[in-house]
Structure 1
Amino acid sequence: MNSLSYVTVDVFTSTRFEGNPLAVMSDARGISDAAMQKIAAEFGYSEVTFVLPPENPENTARVRIFTPTMEVPFAGHPNVGTAYVIARQGELFGRPVGDTLRFEEKAGLVEVALQRSEGRVVAATIRAPRPLEIEGTIPDTVIAGCVSIDPGSICKKTHAPVFVSVGLKFAVAELESLEALAAASPNLNGFQDAARTTAGSHDFSLFLYVRPAATPWKIRARMFAPLDNVIEDPATGSASAALSAYLVSLLPETDISQHVTIEQGVEMGRRSIIELDVVKKAGTVTDVTISGSCVPVMKGEILLQD
């Protein structure tokens, strides 16, 4: 019986069994789309990745990202973790791996810069593949219905709940306090109603956050996507990037570089730290990078039917 090798890593952490787990199939040649989806469902992680040779030989690889229910065009922790796994291998499809990688993905080309300490890869920085996109606002009652909170706990001093994306779309909403954030509990019926009633949303992934007044760029967040079989995600780089880009876009300054730290997964017991840098020029966000550490956890083989 043939087999498919995999490695799992915890992403956006330096502590094993924290952060966001990811399974990486670093040579997925010959695996069908249907098999990829079934493997992703079997792992049950928020995402798994399948690495294939690039269509353009100037790039490092083609990377496909699957949640338990669907393929997605881009996500943060899968890119950081996949780059980490490939770098630790030292080579990919017969070619050595350098300190800069380029992944072909459905959302576009994703650039990755590796970070080393004492010669070992410890972290990676990725660049969001698409410009910031801002879509329609979302009623407070829809957000509240998704996570069983009082609509009055939604803070709208900076913005109303809204859809934002830098490659993958999320509903984002600010809450008044850490207590309100901790009280959030996903309601499947609420998410189903939200997906039905919000314009242009086939799914509904909700990113909630709190900004301390004293340190507004050190953000605490939670992400829920039960319609995608992800009740809660320990770390969501793509949502963190979209939120950070959006908040910087709202600043009055026309030219600014802003560092943002987002802490996520605390309520799950899987604390994650996501570091972001946003560049705004002439009033437009031009660049968003997502950085995080990784730690290896498991490796093994998936048995394939002959």
Structure 2
Amino acid sequence: MARRFVTLDVFTTRRHAGNPLAVVLQAEGLDTEAMQAIAREFNLSETVFVLPPERPEHRAALRIFTPGTELPFAGHPTVGTAVWLALHDEAEGGGTEMLVLEEKVGAVACAVEVTGSHAGHAAFTLPRLPEAVGTAPAAGLLAPALGLDAGEIGFGAHRPGIFSAGVPFLCIPLASRAAVAHARPDMGRWQDALGASAAFVYSHETAEAGHHYHARMFAPTLGIAEDPATGSAVAAFAGAIIAHEPPGEGDHRFVIEQGYEMGRPSQIVLEMSVRGGALVSARIGGSAVVVSEGVLL
């Protein structure tokens, strides 16, 4: 059967920036092998398949694939799909400010707003708070795997660590934005240093005023050489902030810029609520715009 699809650029307000996403609609009847093959065909960092939800009060169930594997959760697929569903529902005469998506990690609540005929904004509450998992490799191993000097690893109290809010990331602080820009994965050394880990490198130095961190994400073992914007990495990164530079009591907002070295500037909003010195909730938000619509034959 023919199946409709749309593509969106996510974590941006304009087309041809942000992170491209394919959303396959009417995905019933596709098995895992077929979904993986379609994701390889699109060859984007992630492709979403929209299915009927298990619970009638939820809006949809999602399955999310990179070109190489299925993920239990991902940020830009969640934001982009929520925006498209809001646009679709409004065009059908319905619409809501809140919808729930079923992902492998659990139910994900999304606040959505339609901002134009083909654009919107969504923010979702993390279904799982970030936690430290495993032990990070030493700077002496990480640096050559990224084409850097060991002295460029770390700044302030920030040190490499592995954190996960559903998908684990090795969060690697770098001393400057120049070091972030110069990072080049050396696949001959990557496997020994990082194994199957995805690496989220970041610096406090930013390209744009008013932003808080400048980042890149590499996941070559998942079929993603580099990702323009990675919501699930920012969700994990919230754990690094709490561990290394904890904000005070109250609610905090950070803007993480990513994708600038790829010519696809993206802005990911991270909101964190701290009570009693602990992270009690966090949200990931951003804008998305529809780029194309088509049919899979």
- What TM-score do you get using the length of structure 1 for normalisation? 0.90
Supply the distance in 2 between the matched residues of 1:157 and 1:18 (Cα, whole angstroms). 31
Cα-to-partner distance string for 1:17-60 (whole Å, 9 max, x where unaligned): 11000000122111111000000011111101001111111211
Q: Deviations over 1:118-169 (max 9, x none)?
A: 7875210011111221022321123213321111111243232110111211
- Structure 1, gaps ≥5 residues long: 197-202
Whether 1:87 aligns to 2:86 is yes
1:239 is aligned to 233
Is the deviation greater in 233-242 or in 140-149? 140-149
Secondary structure at the counterpart of residue 30 of structure 1:
coil
Partner residue in 1 for 2:200:
207
Q: Check whether the contact 2:257–2:268 (CA below 8 A) recurs between aligned residues.
A: yes
Do structure 1's residue 189 and structure 2's residue 182 form an aligned pair?
A: no
**Corresponding position: 1:124 with 2:118:** no
Distance 2:214 2:76 in 1: 17
User: Once the 2 structures are TM-superposed, how far is the Cα of residue 109 of structure 1 from its aligned partner?
Assistant: 1.1
2:221 counterpart residue number? 227
Distance 2:17 2:210 in 1: 24
Residues in 2 aligned to 1:245 and 1:57: alpha-carbon distance in whole angstroms: 33
CA deviation after TM superposition for structure 1 residue 255, in Å: 2.4
Would you say the 8 A contact 2:130–2:235 is kept in 1? no
Contact 1:234 1:272 in 2 (8 A): yes
Residue 15 in structure 1 maps to residue 14 in structure 2:
yes
Aligned residue for 1:46?
Answer: 45
- Pick closer, same or farther for the CA change 1:139–1:120 going to 2, 3 Å: same
Q: What is the aligned residue count?
A: 295
1:11/1:292 contact within 8 Å kept: yes
Take 1:88 and 1:253, find their aligned partners in 2: how far apart are those partners?
Answer: 36
Match of 1:126, SS state, is strand
1:245–1:278 Cα contact (<8 Å) kept: no
CA distance in 1, matches of 2:182, 2:247: 35
Deviates more, 1:180-189 or 1:4-13: 180-189
What aligned pairs does 1:89-104 form with structure 2 within 5 A after superposition? 89-90=88-89, 96-104=94-102
> Residue 79 of structure 1 aligns to a residue in which SS?
helix
2:200 aligned partner, one-letter code: F
The answer on 1:297 being equivalent to 2:291 is yes
| Cα displacement (A) at 1:189 | 2.5
CA RMSD of aligned residues (A): 2.3
Q: Which amino acid aligns with 2:218?
A: F
Quote the residue 2:150 is aligned against.
151
How far, CA to CA, are the matches of 1:252 and 1:107 in structure 2? 26
Contact 2:5–2:293 (CA under 8 A) maintained in structure 1: yes
Matched, 1:68 2:62: no
What SS does the aligned partner of 1:262 have?
strand
**Unpaired segments of 5 or more residues in structure 2?**
none
**Paired AA for residue 235 in structure 1:** A
Deviation at 1:116, TM superposition (A): 3.2
Same amino acid, percent of matched pairs: 40
Corresponding residue for residue 28 of structure 1? 27
Measure, in 2, the Cα distance between the counterparts of 1:246 and 1:124.
24
- Give 3-state SS (helix, strand or coil) of 1:142's partner: helix
Distance in 1, Cα, partners of 2:161 & 2:256: 19
Whole-Å separation in 2 of the counterparts to 1:194 and 1:266: 26
> Could you tell me how far apart the structure 2 residues matched to 1:223 and 1:128 are?
19
**CA offset at residue 254 of structure 1?**
5.9
**Equivalence for 1:200:** none
| DSSP 3-state at the match of 2:282 | strand
Contact 2:86 2:114 in 1 (8 A): no
C-alpha distance in 1 between matches for 2:9 and 2:233: 18
